[in-house]
Structure 1
Amino acid sequence: MRKVTLSHRMEYAGLMFVIFVLRLMPLSVASGMMGRVWRFIAPKLSRQKRAMEHLRLCFPEKSEKELYVITQGMWDNLGRTFVESLLAEQFLDTAASLIEITSEFDDLVEKIQTSGAVIVSLHSGNWELGGVVSSKYGFKAAVTIQKLKNPLVHDYVVSRRASTFQGGIYAKGDKAGTRIMSTIKGGTVAAIMGDLRDGRGVKVPFFGRPAPTNTFPARLSLQQNVPLIAVQILRKDGVQFKINAELIEVLRTDDLDADILSATRQVQQVFEGWIRAKPEQWMWAHKRWG
Structure 2
Amino acid sequence: MTAPLGKRLRREIRVRALLFGWPLLRVVPLGLGAALGWLAWYLVPRQRRLAREHLRIAFPEEDEAERDRIGRASFANLGRSAVQTARAQRLDIRTTVDLDPAGEALLREAHAEGKGVVVATAHIGAWELFARRVAALGIPCGTVAKEAHDPRITALLERSREQGGVRVFWRGAPLSAREILRFLRDEGGIFGILIDQDTRVAGHFVPFFGRPAFTPRAAGDLAAHLGAPLLFACAHRVASGVHRMVVRRIEVQRTGDRDRDSFLLTAAATKAIEEEVRKRPDEWVWMHPRWRTQAVDISEEK
TM-score (normalised: structure 1): 0.89
Counterpart position of 2:295: none
Give the aligned CA root-mean-square deviation in angstroms. 2.2
Give the secondary structure class of the aligned counterpart of 1:124.
coil
Shift of 1:267: 0.6
Preserved CA contact (<8 Å) 1:8 1:151: no
Distance in 2, matches of 1:148 and 1:17, equals 17
Shift of 1:112: 3.9
> What aligned pairs does 1:26-37 form with structure 2 within 5 A after superposition?
30-37=29-36
Give the secondary structure class of the aligned counterpart of 2:122.
strand
What per-residue deviation string (whole Å, max 9, x for no partner) do you get for residues 86-105 of structure 1? Answer: 221122xx223222213441
Shift of 1:218: 1.3
Counterpart position of 2:95: 97
Shift of 1:214: 1.5
Q: What is the one-letter code of the residue matched to 2:74?
A: M
> What aligned pairs does 1:1-290 form with structure 2 within 5 A after superposition?
10-23=13-26, 25=27, 30-45=29-44, 46-91=46-91, 94-114=92-112, 115=114, 116-166=116-166, 168-175=167-174, 176-185=176-185, 186-198=187-199, 200-290=202-292
Preserved CA contact (<8 Å) 2:139 2:190: yes
Shift of 1:131: 2.9
Preserved CA contact (<8 Å) 1:43 1:71: no
Structure 1: gaps of 5 or more residues = none
Preserved CA contact (<8 Å) 2:19 2:153: no
Residues 110 and 19 of structure 1, relative CA distance in 2, 3 Å threshold: same
Preserved CA contact (<8 Å) 1:134 1:164: no
Give the secondary structure class of the aligned counterpart of 2:53.
helix
Distance in 1, matches of 2:78 and 2:168, equals 22
Q: What is the one-letter code of the residue matched to 1:159?
A: R
Distance in 2, matches of 1:120 and 1:72, equals 26
Preserved CA contact (<8 Å) 2:37 2:78: yes
Distance in 2, matches of 1:11 and 1:272, equals 33
Preserved CA contact (<8 Å) 2:25 2:86: no
Residues 208 and 221 of structure 1, relative CA distance in 2, 3 Å threshold: same
Structure 2: gaps of 5 or more residues = 293-302
Distance in 2, matches of 1:187 and 1:233, equals 23
Residues 219 and 10 of structure 1, relative CA distance in 2, 3 Å threshold: same
Between stretches 223-232 and 172-181, larger displacement belongs to 172-181
Distance in 1, matches of 2:273 and 2:23, equals 35
Preserved CA contact (<8 Å) 1:104 1:244: no
Preserved CA contact (<8 Å) 1:42 1:48: yes
Residues 64 and 134 of structure 1, relative CA distance in 2, 3 Å threshold: same
Q: What is the one-letter code of the residue matched to 1:278?
A: R
Shift of 1:205: 0.8
Identity of aligned residues (%): 25
Give the secondary structure class of the aligned counterpart of 2:291.
coil
The alignment of Structure 1 onto Structure 2 pairs a total of residues equal to 281
Distance in 1, matches of 2:59 and 2:263, equals 26
Distance in 2, matches of 1:198 and 1:17, equals 28
